[in-house]
Amino acid sequence: MGRAPCCEKLGLKKGPWTDEEDRILIAHIQKHGHPNWRQLPKQAGLLRCGKSCRLRWINYLRPDIKRGNFTKEEEEAIIHLHETLGNRWSAIAARLPGRTDNEIKNVWHTHLKKRVVPKRNQAKTVTQFSESTMSPQPCSSDPSSVLTEEIANHQHHHQGLDVKDEHIVDSFDNFPEIDESFWTDALFENSSNITSAFGGPIS
């Protein structure tokens, strides 16, 4: 079908956002919300395509964004969630309040991937995990059951598992349990606070 281009190339600005553009976008969303991203830049007087505005808002300007370095706990969470969910960054981000899929994706590619690949190779020798943050004993705390539920849901949602999904499940089976209590506690404790921040979605 004759798909409309994501944005008209003519006259629309690309590249890094200026402070002024940020201010305009924030002010407009605070005042009107974002019922329609395509119309938003026109209404706000921004020379950007709607997609660009949405991305800027979601990844950078949202008030509930948690900026700054990822904590060790968050990194472990990402690694673990990636084992279960694969490259479903938005799903992973949903479990890390205040973090965006883009940010998580970046962290994964720049830091965590390097850490995980060697670990996977080491996984053949079980003893290697005994002294790291990885713990062989299963965690029975409630928060982790949420994660287990997520996995179950994921598998259920993909009854017709493709090769990729099978690989995910497989790799999870082969991956030693993380002692989640140390990060899930903090994470879920946090999420209750964040929930209120999410409570009033602008649109």
Partner DNA sequence: AAATCCTCCAACCGCCACCGG
Partner DNA sequence: GCCGGTGGCGGTTGGAGGATT
Footprint of DNA (CB under 7 A):
1-4, 6-7, 13-17, 34-39, 48, 50-52, 54-56, 59-60, 87-91, 101-103, 105-107, 109-111
Six-digit token string for 14:
């690309």
The b-or-e profile of 65-79 (16+ CB within 10 A means b, else e) is bbeeebeebbbbbbb
Cβ proximity to DNA, 52 vs 184, nearer residue = 52
- The whole-angstrom distance between residue 160's C-alpha and the CA centroid of its chain comes to 25
88/119 with CB nearer DNA:
88
CB of 128 to DNA, least distance (A): 24
Q: Which is nearer to DNA, 28 or 48 (CB)?
A: 48
Which one-letter amino acid corresponds to residue 176? Answer: P
DSSP 97: T
Closest distance of CB 102 from DNA, Å: 5
Q: Residue 103 CB, nearest distance to DNA (Å)?
A: 6
Amino acid (1-letter code) at residue 45: G
3-state secondary structure of 178: strand
Q: How far is the CB of 41 from DNA (least distance, A)?
A: 10
Rounded least distance, CB 182 to DNA, Å: 23
Looking at the Cβ atoms of 101 and 177, the one nearer to DNA is 101
Q: Quick one: CA dihedral 29, 34, 38, 42, positive or negative?
A: negative
Please check whether residue 150 is in contact with residue 84, taking contact to mean a CB–CB distance below 8 angstroms. Answer: yes
